[in-house]
Amino acid sequence: MIYKNSMKKLFLLFLLLPLGVFAQVEQVYEVMHDVGVEEVSSEEALKRSIPAHFKNGKPHYFSRNNLAGYILNDSILIPLQYEQLAFKYSDFMICREPRKLFGAINKKGETVVPFEYNTLSQNAAGIVLGWKKGAGYGLMTPTGKTLVPFEFKSGFFNQDSVVVLYGPGKQLIVKALDSENLKVLMEGNFEEISIEATGRRPIFAVKQQGRWGIMDYQKRQLVPCEYDKIHKVVEQHVVAVKNGKMGIVDWNGKPEVPFEYEMIGERLRNGLFSFGVGISAGRYRWGLVDSMGHIVLPGEYDQVEQFYSCELMKVKKDGKCGILDPRGKLRAPLQFHDIMAWKHFLTTEKTDKSGKPQSFRDEVYGIYFVHKYLEDGKIGLWKIDQGEIIKPAYDYFNIYHPEDCIEVSLNDKKALFNGKGKQLSGFEYGALNISAQHPAFVTAYANDKRTLLNARTGKQIQPEYYDEWISHYSDGMNGYFLTKIGNSTALHAPDGRRLTPHKYWAGMAPCGNLPEVEARLPKGRKLVACAIHKGDAGLRFYALDDTGAEYEYDKK
């Protein structure tokens, strides 16, 4: 009987169990849906994304998701709906909605220029230049009032608030006096007008009766219209085409280079022009001609290129390079796979504001050239008027002074060579350095330590390494300087010899007036520095003479 009752209870429990489970799930579901979810509008989300530094009481350009507008603290002044928008908040802001035309709005977001322009821009005087497809370029005020009809093929803002509008048979050049008034500089009816050769300057190329010349904004004919094409204007030189050949005339149309070349290239910094002689379609052999028409270099080279920051040039023929001077003389034969001008330093004396002379190192080019014989080979050093001083077997060069020392790199190690290319040290240093104030010494670094090398011999001044070389006071100390190991310094003579142990604390400085010490100096000696020794008994002060001898004194 007891068993039966137990079984009934168990059976009822199993029947009720699913109901309990479902009731529990349903309860959780209800609880989850009872939790409130905050709904945030897109405008509210935008306001929350505004950085705190923008909330300073001033209007700010603000963009999000590639759309821009303007905000003020937590307020939206101009909705973020423009793909392009002026960065300056004003009553005339050029803008464009995504994939639409240009127009302009004011500070309230109201349209002041309708959105019907393919391009729209404003100059400093306030004049607005626009272009409508199917109409042309024209000018208007910031309020949308037309000043010049939109009927020109092209237009641009030039310098000094000048606007150039032009097309076939009709040209207009005006100067903007303010945002609503123009002054006409020139009206023309040339067949064509072009700024391609002249750039945005107060001159332009004009075409009359099928021929080209140069004119200025005052409609003065600078170069007569008698050329097939104005190719380019370089300073006071006009490169033009006449009867199918290129030449150069000056501003008065006077011939400088005869019209007998198939191609004239850029004017080099040394004043020469490169010219090309055609050898096949699009291929030329190059030479050089001066502005008087004299041939400096025959047109038989594959390449003529001026080196960086010097008048010499690299010429190339049949895959070999050499060095050419402005007179057309080869200063290095055509034998290199490549060659380039390499900088060196020249120490010069200059006077500072106080009238005290100072030494400075200036970068100079034109004496040394890095060269290589093979395409992927190492580099060497060529010295003008001397030839190859270092064969192409190294990775890099630093030339500290053209007559003294050269740092040469090989596999991340440095060695010292002299100005004639002789190796002075082994490749055992991580870096080398030389100071313009102390050209007699080279600081050599190895394993985070430094030693001093003689700049002329490459030998260590002393066979030891230091944590630091301090030369701040060397002028006041008549060339004597310090080295440091740990927290202790030592005194060195101007020739680099260490005169004292590394035992002084905090450094050294030139001595002031110490008559009590000077009275104790042996004859012929002089004080060069004052130092401090720090021990258990406290600080002790010493004056050091030019031999390193010390003289204790009381610091008052």
Q: Which of 54-58, 112-116, 355-359 has the highest mean pLDDT?
A: 112-116
Strand order in the sheet with 413-418: 387-394, 379-383, 357-372, 338-351, 396-399, 405-410, 413-418
* pLDDT (0 to 100) of residue 473: 64
* pLDDT (0 to 100) of residue 41: 61
- The per-residue DSSP string of 395-419 comes to SEEEES-TTSEEEEEETTEEEEEET
* pLDDT (0 to 100) of residue 350: 79
* pLDDT (0 to 100) of residue 475: 67
SS3 54: helix
Read off the DSSP letter of residue 52: G
Range of the domain at 420: 343-465
Q: Tell me the pTM.
A: 0.69
* Tens digits of residue pLDDT in 142-180: 999 999 999 999 999 987 889 999 988 899 999 999 999
SS3 10: helix
Copy the structure tokens of residue 544: 């050091």
The reply to whether 450 falls in a domain is yes
The reply to whether 88 falls in a domain is no
In angstroms, rounded to a whole number, what is the distance separating the alpha carbons of residues 507 and 504? 7
Residue, of 164 and 438, whose pLDDT is higher: 164
Q: Is the pLDDT of residue 461 over 70?
A: yes
Residue 331 φ then ψ, to 5°? -95, -15
Q: What is the dihedral of CA 71, 76, 80, 84, to 10 degrees?
A: -40
- The per-residue DSSP string of 257-303 comes to EEEEESEEEEEPTTS-EEEEEEEETTEEEEEEE-TTS-EEEEEEESE
Residue 518 φ then ψ, to 5°? -60, -30
In angstroms, rounded to a whole number, what is the distance separating the alpha carbons of residues 73 and 57? 6
Copy the structure tokens of residue 96: 């464009």
The reply to whether 402 falls in a domain is yes
Copy the structure tokens of residue 406: 């050269």
The reply to whether 127 falls in a domain is no
Q: Is the pLDDT of residue 14 over 90?
A: no
- Which residue in 64, 54, 137 sits closest to 89, CA to CA? 54
* pLDDT (0 to 100) of residue 3: 41
Residues forming beta bridges with residue 320, ordered by sequence position: 317
Q: Is the distance from CB of 483 to CB of 469 less than 8 angstroms?
A: yes
* pLDDT (0 to 100) of residue 49: 81
* pLDDT (0 to 100) of residue 199: 82
* pLDDT (0 to 100) of residue 361: 75
The reply to whether 12 falls in a domain is no
Q: Is the pLDDT of residue 39 over 60?
A: no
* pLDDT (0 to 100) of residue 13: 40
* pLDDT (0 to 100) of residue 24: 32
In angstroms, rounded to a whole number, what is the distance separating the alpha carbons of residues 157 and 175? 10
For residue 28, what pLDDT band results from cuts at 50, 70 and 90?
Answer: very low
- The per-residue DSSP string of 433-485 comes to EEETTEEEEEEEEETTEEEEEETTT--BSSS--BSEEE-TTTTTTTT-EEEEE
Q: Is the pLDDT of residue 97 over 90?
A: yes
92-106, 198-212, 411-425: least confident range: 198-212
Q: Is the distance from CB of 271 to CB of 291 less than 8 angstroms?
A: yes
Between vectors from CA 328 to CA 327 and to CA 332, what angle results, nearest 5°?
Answer: 115
34-38, 243-247, 474-478: least confident range: 34-38
* Tens digits of residue pLDDT in 285-305: 999 999 889 999 999 999 999
HSE of 85, CA atoms in CB hemisphere, 13 A:
26
Residue, of 116 and 234, whose pLDDT is higher: 116
* Tens digits of residue pLDDT in 445-460: 999 899 999 999 999 9
* Tens digits of residue pLDDT in 350-404: 777 777 777 777 889 999 999 999 877 899 999 999 999 999 999 999 998 766 7
The reply to whether 50 falls in a domain is no
Q: Is the distance from CB of 73 to CB of 57 less than 8 angstroms?
A: yes
Q: Is the pLDDT of residue 2 over 80?
A: no
If one counts the domains in the chain, the total is: 1
For residue 193, what pLDDT band results from cuts at 50, 70 and 90?
Answer: confident
The predicted model gives 176-203 an average pLDDT of: 89
The reply to whether 357 falls in a domain is yes
Q: What is the CA radius of gyration of the chain?
A: 40
Q: Is the pLDDT of residue 86 over 80?
A: yes
Mean of the per-residue pLDDT values of the chain? 87
- The per-residue DSSP string of 307-373 comes to PTTSS-EEEEETTEEEEE-TTS-EEEEEEESEEEEEEEEEEEEEE-TTS-EEEEEEEEEEEEEEEES
The reply to whether 44 falls in a domain is no
